[in-house]
Amino acid sequence: MISTDRDSMLDIQHAAALVLADLLTRDLPSASWTVCNVYDSLDGQISSWSSSKDDRIAMIRRWADTFGVEPTVQHAGTKAENLRVVFRHQGVEVQVWTCIADPAEPASGEA
């Protein structure tokens, strides 16, 4: 659902906040969350600074297994490459993702 009027935007955020509250009670890897006010959605990012790439992939797989979805890769082969799951929970779209791009090679002369 897309909304542009203030009351609808508040309703969307309220619904997303309730879903977020439910998700936070579950035994799932933590993420930093954004509640959208235009679309009925939540966006959770597992920080690339919080753990190794393999650990982050395992965290996304836990989200995927819990909600019965398959992880997908976006922006493959770029500095923005990420692994994500997208699912609907209590009528709200939830996206949880993490960066899986390999760090850029240092320029010559850099260490």
pLDDT tens track for 18-56? 999 999 999 999 999 999 877 778 999 998 887 889 999
Residue 65 lies in a domain: yes
Residue 106 lies in a domain: no
Among candidate residues 104, 94, 102, the one with its CA nearest the CA of residue 54: 102
Is the sign of the CA dihedral 56, 28, 74, 15 positive or negative? negative
Q: What's this model's pTM, rounded to 2 decimal places? A: 0.82
Q: Which residues pair with 74 in a beta bridge?
A: 82
Residue 92 lies in a domain: yes
Give the Cα-Cα-Cα angle 23, 28, 30 (nearest 5 degrees). Answer: 85
Residue 25 lies in a domain: yes
Is the sign of the CA dihedral 46, 50, 56, 58 positive or negative? negative
Give the Cα-Cα-Cα angle 57, 38, 40 (nearest 5 degrees). Answer: 55
Q: Provide the number of structural domains found in the chain.
A: 1
| 57 pLDDT higher than 80 | yes
pLDDT at 49: 80
Domain that holds residue 69: 6-99
